[in-house]
Amino acid sequence: MSITVETYPSLREAARAMRESTWYLGGGTLLMRGVNYGAQGFDRIVRTTDAAMREIHPEGGGIRLGAGVRMAQVMAHPDLAFLAPVARSVGGPAVRNMATVGGNLFARSPFGDFTTALLALDASVQMAEGPALPLESFLSGRDRQRGIVASVLVPRPSQGAFRFAKVTRTRPKGASVMCIAAHLPGGGRITNARVAFGAMGATPLRAKAAETALEGAGPDAGGIQRALDVCLQGLDPQDDAIASAWYRREVAPVHLRRLLLGEER
């Protein structure tokens, strides 16, 4: 199969060049695997050298990350300390120098750890054209969309309210058995909790029943029990080389408990 590569100086021009059987190139860590192994169904790669794609800047109560921002950039940025452990959990050092925020939105299970964190933070997705979308709606239509993601807007969590854990078979790096991100505002009693799981479905998913069960709960074993009981509702883990769907279901409440109670893993 022969492929053509088109490079555009601006995101706008690149977005106009997108059509069927075209892949947009982020860092290439997933796309180039496809190219190397003769993936079918596309014959064009579109990319842009637009510097805005790699920018990070504050906006309102949040931070806007260009879709081309690398995991290593997130780790190094003083305003993004809450996301640094998440970015550090993606692949090894060379992968983190390449892997982009935008590409992570499209990664299939067991990948998508960064996106899982963004989901718990109520991030929104800005395409090159059109209105901003809540990340959850973006993910539900992800595999049908054709455009280019320009950036994501990440609301800044309140101090100490954001938590992330990634469960792997190997250390220091490995693909997710699952990852869990939680945003637990409210100090004493939890209000408006967000709990998101990665590698527990085709895309990262919110555990909405658990979120509801945490409303008004205290951050102790009794307070969170109901959330643990219902946390699997709406999740759809798959068998893969890392773990079976059965195993993922069995251990999800255990890992959620450890995360919510801040227990040693």
Partner 1 sequence: MAKTPIRFTLNGAETGVFADPGASLLDVLRREAGDLSPKQGCQQGGCGACTVMIDGTTHLACLTLAETAEGARIDTAAGLAGGPDLHPLQKAFIEGFAAQCGFCTPGMLMAARALLESNPNPTRDQVAEAISGNLCRCTGYEPIINAILTAAAELRGRAA
Ligand X SMILES: Cc1cc2nc3c(=O)[nH]c(=O)nc-3n(C[C@H](O)[C@H](O)[C@H](O)COP(=O)(O)OP(=O)(O)OC[C@H]3O[C@@H](n4cnc5c(N)ncnc54)[C@H](O)[C@@H]3O)c2cc1C
Q: Interface with partner 1 by CB under 8 A: which residues?
A: 2-5, 7, 25, 27-29, 32-33, 35-37, 45, 47, 72, 91-95, 97-98, 172-173
Binding at 3: pick from ligand X, partner 1, none (beta carbon under 5-8 Å per type): partner 1
Cis peptide before 172 (omega within 30 of 0): yes
- Regarding 167 and contact with ligand X (CB under 6 A), the answer is no
- Two tokens at 65? 């990350």
Render the burial of 209-221: b for 16+ CB within 10 Å, e for the rest. bbbebbeebebee
CA distance 8 to 95: 24
User: 111 is in the binding site of which of partner 1, ligand X, none (Cβ under 5 to 8 A by kind)?
Assistant: ligand X
The entry of partner 1, ligand X, none near residue 51 (CB within 5 to 8 angstroms by kind) is none
C-beta of 52 vs 228, nearer to ligand X: 52
CB of 204 to partner 1, least distance (A): 21
Residue 132 in tokens? 């901003």
Does residue 132 bind ligand X (CB under 6 A)?
A: no
Q: Are 23 and 42 in contact (CB under 8 A)?
A: yes
Between the two ends of the chain, the Cα-to-Cα distance in Å is 47
**Interacting residue ranges for ligand X, rule: CB under 6 A:** 23-31, 67, 90-91, 95, 98-100, 102-104, 106-107, 111-114, 148-149, 175
